[in-house]
Amino acid sequence: MSNSAKPFRCAILSAMKHDYVPLGMARHPRFELVVVADDPQIPAWAHERNQKFANSQKIPYVRDVERALREFDVQVAIVNSEAERHCDLSARAAALGKHIVQDKPLTTLRSEADRLVAAVEKHRVKFLMWNRSLLPAVIHAREQLAAGAIGRVRAIHVDFYFAKDAGPPKGTRPPGEPPRDWKTHQIAANVDSADGGLGSQPMGELSIEGIYPLGYVRALTGAEVRRVFARSTAHFHQINADHSVEDLASVTLEMDDGLIGSLAIGRIGAASHPSGGEIKLRLLGTEGALVVSEARPEVGIYYRNQPAREARQRRVASDGDFLLADDFARAIDTGGETILNARASHAIFAIVEAALLSARSGQPVDVRHLAR
């Protein structure tokens, strides 16, 4: 564990959606939440959520991002806003010399992704995109690969199915009734932390959650993706069908050194799985194969009158959030890189961008990576 006598003081730049990123950082002794900040022109409901989170942590809420970053002696900005403001807030924090932890997705626009990388590199700050690549099963898979258990990796597949609902099922909107507004739906989804796509622009699962399986691929292979072919559909949820964004997709990945990858991703409904969903990694090497269940270790809990929506399988011995914070502290202390830095996050954004274009066109698409 990274160690120092003095914790890093953190500003939460917007707390208008799920709070697991700032709370995950706060569980580590090296990070202290000291202020919530946001821009004054945001809607009243967003100010209310910011104030509510600030009250829960017994810290002030300041309606001026730059003033909070300057006056509260912070070293770290934790960005937790709508998706389209992620990179703006992160770039502004970088310009003031603050290290950044940002929730996914990276952004909705390539120009904003470019801006973020430029700001992080110009001001020489550390950046961590929140991810799942330090969960126990993924760490164990990396250890097995490093030990040569299956030889040289030649192919990888990830199933990433979230067993969560996104409003009513597809086909339930009555004739003549207008589609539900995307942002209104996402605001309401905060009650069960299903508001990862919060923002004005509708986003499907590839955009919202693609950082997770593609983060696994990057962590386990270290290879860049050069070309993709994707298929997608709105299969499960009315909100996705109404806004023509996918809740189910498959992507084939052509990578460096002849590696082949693929992923299947979806938000498949709470009734589809007894816990969080089916998330598995399959790797084929020159000397064998590896199958990893991301949820392990887990225990099954069953009892009389158990609520229907309560997860039956529950993760245990999982300190992924703590390890992400520790990785971030180590990067600041040593000048090294985080497990998912700004350039790596941009690369994943570029893969998703290419996959969405491929799904629309029906053709393979080259991935447009940043020049070095």
pLDDT surpasses 90 at 236: yes
188 & 299 share domain: yes
Res. 171 pLDDT band, cuts 50 70 90: very high
Asked whether residue 218 falls in the same domain as residue 242, the answer is yes
Domain edge (last residue) among 125, 159, 183? 125
Same domain membership, residue 202 and residue 311 = yes
Based on the fold, state whether residues 154 and 49 are members of the same structural domain.
Answer: no
Q: What is the DSSP letter of 169?
A: B
Most confident listed range (196-210, 311-325, 352-366): 352-366
* Within a domain: 95: yes
> Are the CB atoms for 315 and 88 separated by under 8 Å?
no
Among 196-210, 215-229, 262-276, which stretch is predicted with the lowest mean pLDDT?
Answer: 262-276
pLDDT band at 5 (very low <50, low <70, confident <90, very high): low
Question: What is the pLDDT, as a whole number, of residue 310?
Answer: 82
> What is the pLDDT at residue 77?
99
Q: Indicate the residue among 83, 104, 125 that finishes a domain.
A: 125
Span 146-171, average pLDDT? 95
pLDDT computed for residue 1 by the predictor: 58
Domain-located, residue 2: no
If asked whether residues 76 and 121 sit together in one domain, one would say yes
- Gap between the Cα atoms of 267 and 163, Å rounded: 6
Structure-model confidence comparison of residues 267 and 194, the more confident one? 267
User: Buried (b) or exposed (e) across 191-215, using 16+ Cβ within 10 A?
Assistant: eeebbbbbbeebbbbbbbbbbbbbb
Q: Do both 145 and 224 map to the same domain?
A: yes
How would residue 144 be classed by pLDDT, with cut points 50, 70 and 90?
very high
Is the entire prediction scored with pTM above 0.75?
A: yes
Q: What is the pLDDT of residues 44-60, one digit of tens each?
A: 999 999 999 999 999 99
Residue 158: pLDDT band (50, 70, 90) is very high
Does residue 275 surpass a pLDDT of 80?
no
**CATH number of residue 80's parent domain:** 3.40.50.720
Domain count across the chain: 2
By residue range, what is the domain housing residue 61?
Answer: 8-125
Asked whether 280 and 292 are in contact (CB, 8 A), the reply is: yes
Mean pLDDT of 149-157: 98
Contact status, residue 369 vs residue 347, Cβ threshold 8 Å: yes
Q: Can you give the pLDDT at residue 329? A: 98
- Determine the pLDDT at residue 3: 59
Q: Domain boundary residue among 82, 98, 125?
A: 125
Q: Is residue 329 part of a domain?
A: no
Q: Is residue 333 part of a domain?
A: no
Question: What pLDDT is stored for residue 85 in this prediction?
Answer: 97
Q: If you search the block for the tokens 């009650």, which residue do you land on?
A: 191
- The answer to whether residues 36 and 170 belong to one domain is no
- Helices first, then strands: H and E counts in the chain: 12, 15
Place of tokens 């040569």: 148
Q: Average pLDDT of the chain? A: 95
Interior angle at CA 233, CA 232 and CA 239, nearest 5: 130
Residue 79 pLDDT greater than 80, yes or no: yes
* Per-residue model confidence (pLDDT) at position 320: 93
Instruction: Look at residue 2 in the predicted model and tell me its pLDDT.
Output: 55
Is it the case that residue 337 has pLDDT exceeding 80? yes
- What pLDDT score was predicted for residue 270? 84
> Is it true that the peptide bond before 105 is cis, omega within 30 degrees of 0?
yes
**Least confident span in 104-113, 188-197, 318-327:** 188-197
Give yes or no for residue 4 having a pLDDT over 90: no
**Does 182 share its domain with 315?**
yes
CATH number, domain with residue 303: 3.30.360.10
